A and B are shown apart, each in its own frame.
Chain A
């Protein structure tokens, strides 16, 4: 892997920050990843991505030419990677089969969610991949301080932090021997986050609370909202907002009664391409909030303090920082600064 093959991302990132040149990776490289010890004799020549977040990290690191296949898509690729992505084979929209991954003879499988390759892996278990000599790397955002055996989407033992995302970027960069680019990407993500947090703390917020509404199985039914330890909780924590939801699960179901009584200052609704449920459409969410006899009485709805945020920014991905930016901007626009 040489940097001359991948000129596109580094230039813009380098303009933002200057990072001291990092050491090249020393092989064999050994690292702990989600409960497994991985050893790399050399940088993998190719990888298959299982999970859109893994794909986007690889693209952000300029590794598109190494990606032999992608799978598990939730929504459109980030616009800046559209052309690159068109050249990469999509093995499956949803979960790829074990054989379709192996057939690509990748030297690494990069995974977003542990449930794809964990002990009950839908694709296969990590052991199955390791048995055919293919190492698997799971993004730490899905396993660091998180118990995937509890709750439907897993349960975090500690508040999520973008550190876990940065760790994934750094480790992939080490595996592929492009540590400079990894550091640049982390520096740019950190700087964006720092700016958004600084802007919010300048507002000196007091008693601001929020709820993140992801979707609902039926329009009127109890909604899926962000729990107290996932990426949305981290955003709120960083920006000085209280989450009205107390569950530790990633996306617990909480009744409108509880949410309406908590009466948060603002409501964040997810915008997504998915159209599985009527409530996936953020316009339908807004309509519900404004017409339901109870939610229409909430302060956030009456004062039109509703933020529309990309659903993928609400997951623990490199897009999380965009969510922090959107929320920080909304706090300012809503005039919540202490006078």
Chain B
């Protein structure tokens, strides 16, 4: 490889990075400008100037609050959740060599539901523990159950072993889903459990600044871990045995990455509920765009995931005037046809 070639690669990588980041910034700006109620772009920009640069434009306090305290944290949390979930899906798809793997494979979504329901319906935690904390605890408990079961069943480095993990995940999900139904059914209160269901489909409406400070570091950790382990993930594509023969400490990488994806997913689920589809489909879409090498794939997945979830959130807020749809509905409604298109186009490639 000549010097100019490597320079060209460097420049184009920088260019791609800049392009990707600007896509996310534009998406966040769109997320702030478009909402349930129309707020002029000038008001949005004045608010940002006031809050970031200490300018003193006269802005209606309610509009300023909506832009700064509702819409901006919401867009940032959406970006973090989108990228975090998409990265987790990508990592698990690679580790298990399973195109259908998604972040909820390890029972995390089912566990989060159980935890949320235990707090809200069964009243565990006596009103002190919030639904988010319950969801996080439930998610971690479900993951530990699945991990322990997989380990006891001999899951691990072999191809058969990864099969055990997937099966343990199915068993864990079923168990925790059953627990959720049990708690809901025997609840002592006659109100329907629909509020819980709404939350389980995902909602970003509760995102505020404290959520941002939780979501951003977790998303960054997820992204860096996948860049750090990019070579190992590439090797896993050829199977755990091949990865091992390439000198990769298969067991350690598996434990670290599975643990990290569980953590990232559990945190995201506890902030916004189980938003489906992003973790399953975004990695595939990104592979069509930039190929299967994880050094490039990881950041692409993160960027697309971020932009996609912000866009889905904007749509969920605007499609029915004055009312907000669960975002999980939008991710599937918009995502499924988009993915079908990608699939069909990918087929025509030589």
Closest-by-CB residue of A relative to B198 is A217
**Is A218 a contact partner of B69 (Cβ separation < 8 A)?**
no
**Is B189 a contact partner of A93 (Cβ separation < 8 A)?**
yes
**Is A258 a contact partner of B322 (Cβ separation < 8 A)?**
yes
The verdict on A74 contacting B66 (CB below 8 Å), with A222-B205, A255-B205, A258-B37 known, is no
Name 17 extra pairs, CB < 8 A, besides A247-B323, A281-B127.
A52-B190, A74-B190, A217-B196, A221-B206, A224-B195, A252-B323, A253-B198, A254-B322, A258-B36, A263-B62, A274-B189, A277-B131, A278-B127, A293-B68, A294-B62, A294-B70, A297-B61
A-facing residues in B93-109 (Cβ within 8 Å): none
**Is B322 a contact partner of A245 (Cβ separation < 8 A)?**
yes
Judge if B121 is at the interface, Cβ distance under 8 Å: yes
**Is A217 a contact partner of B322 (Cβ separation < 8 A)?**
no
Closest-by-CB residue of A relative to B209 is A293
**Is A253 a contact partner of B199 (Cβ separation < 8 A)?**
no
**Is B322 a contact partner of A247 (Cβ separation < 8 A)?**
yes
**Contact flags (1/0) for A244-258 with B, using CB distance below 8 Å?**
011100001111111
Give the shortest distance, in Å, between A24 (CB) and chain B (any CB).
36
Judge if B65 is at the interface, Cβ distance under 8 Å: yes
**Is A253 a contact partner of B61 (Cβ separation < 8 A)?**
no
**Contact flags (1/0) for A209-245 with B, using CB distance below 8 Å?**
0000001011111101000000000000000000001
Judge if B317 is at the interface, Cβ distance under 8 Å: yes
Give the shortest distance, in Å, between A74 (CB) and chain B (any CB).
6
**Contact flags (1/0) for A70-110 with B, using CB distance below 8 Å?**
00111000000000000000000111000000000000000
Closest-by-CB residue of A relative to B205 is A222
Give the shortest distance, in Å, between A230 (CB) and chain B (any CB).
15
Closest-by-CB residue of B relative to A294 is B65
Judge if B15 is at the interface, Cβ distance under 8 Å: no
25 residue pairs bridging A and B, Cβ less than 8 Å apart: A72-B190, A73-B189, A93-B189, A217-B131, A217-B199, A218-B206, A219-B130, A220-B207, A221-B199, A222-B203, A222-B205, A222-B324, A246-B322, A255-B324, A257-B71, A258-B36, A258-B37, A258-B322, A274-B189, A274-B191, A275-B127, A276-B195, A277-B195, A281-B127, A298-B62
Which 6 A-B residue pairings sit nearest by Cβ, starting from the closest? A294-B65, A221-B206, A220-B206, A222-B205, A217-B195, A261-B37
B-facing residues in A136-175 (Cβ within 8 Å): 152-153
**Is B189 a contact partner of A276 (Cβ separation < 8 A)?**
yes
Contacts of B66 in A (CB 8 A): 257, 260-261, 294
Judge if B174 is at the interface, Cβ distance under 8 Å: no
**Is A255 a contact partner of B36 (Cβ separation < 8 A)?**
yes
Contacts of A215 in B (CB 8 A): 195
Judge if B177 is at the interface, Cβ distance under 8 Å: no
Q: Cα distance A9–B198 when bound, in Å? A: 43
Judge if B132 is at the interface, Cβ distance under 8 Å: yes
Q: Cα distance A218–B317 when bound, in Å? A: 18
Residues of B participating in the A interface, judged by any CB pair closer than 8 Å: 35-37, 61-63, 65-66, 68-71, 120-121, 123, 127, 130-132, 187-192, 194-196, 198-199, 203, 205-208, 317, 322-324
Q: Cα distance A218–B203 when bound, in Å? A: 10
The verdict on A152 contacting B192 (CB below 8 Å), with A217-B198, A247-B323 known, is yes
**Is A253 a contact partner of B323 (Cβ separation < 8 A)?**
yes
Q: Cα distance A209–B195 when bound, in Å? A: 26
**Is A275 a contact partner of B190 (Cβ separation < 8 A)?**
no
**Is A253 a contact partner of B324 (Cβ separation < 8 A)?**
yes
Contacts of B188 in A (CB 8 A): 93-94
Give the shortest distance, in Å, between B62 (CB) and chain A (any CB).
5
Closest-by-CB residue of A relative to B200 is A217
Q: Cα distance A278–B191 when bound, in Å? A: 15
Give the shortest distance, in Å, between B274 (CB) and chain A (any CB).
14
Contacts of A278 in B (CB 8 A): 127, 130
Closest-by-CB residue of B relative to A256 is B70
Q: Cα distance A257–B60 when bound, in Å? A: 13
**Is B35 a contact partner of A257 (Cβ separation < 8 A)?**
yes
Q: Cα distance A222–B127 when bound, in Å? A: 19
Q: Cα distance A292–B209 when bound, in Å? A: 12
Contacts of B36 in A (CB 8 A): 255, 257-258
Q: Cα distance A218–B62 when bound, in Å? A: 22
Q: Cα distance A292–B208 when bound, in Å? A: 10
Contacts of B120 in A (CB 8 A): 217, 276-277
Contacts of B194 in A (CB 8 A): 152
Contacts of B63 in A (CB 8 A): 261
